[in-house]
Amino acid sequence: MNNKNGEVMGRLTTHVLDTGLGKPAQGLRIELYRLGASREKLLETITSGDGRCDAPLLDFDAFSFGEYELVFHAGDYMDSTGQDLPSPKFLNVIPLRFGISEDTHYHVPLLLSAFGYSTYRGS
């Protein structure tokens, strides 16, 4: 989507909610990759107190159509919360691959617990 000046409006955001603890997942490390002929790491970030990233993962010139992968380091996060987890953990690193095909806002949240997760394209 472009604004009235014709500028690109597309962006990618995420947030993580810990459904097992019933709160935002603060301090969860996330990596973003662009997929193509090779797997290119674009950034690494940590979720804030509300489970969100401080800035969009992609926007303006960095936003482009293609396939991407978000990697959520859930095991490290769950260790930091003091949860009593088996070894090895059922969920440790969660890769999520998706495509961007429109110039609009893509919001890709993660709902997480020690034994399951879900995601969807939000708004």
CA atoms lying within 13 Å on the CB side of residue 101 = 3
5 belongs to a structural domain: no
Domain that holds residue 49: 11-114
What is the mean pLDDT of each successive set of 10 residues along the chain, which is 123 residues long? 56 97 98 97 98 95 95 97 94 98 96 97 90
120 belongs to a structural domain: no
Contact partners, residue 76, CB within 8 Å, separation at least 6? 28, 29
Beta strands at 23-24 and 16-18: parallel, antiparallel or unpaired: antiparallel
123 belongs to a structural domain: no
User: pLDDT at position 60, please?
Assistant: 87
User: pLDDT at position 123, please?
Assistant: 83
6 belongs to a structural domain: no
Query: Considering the entire predicted model, what is its pTM?
Result: 0.91
4 belongs to a structural domain: no
- 61 — alpha (psi -120 to 50), left (phi > 0) or beta? alpha
Residue 38, domain CATH: 2.60.40.180
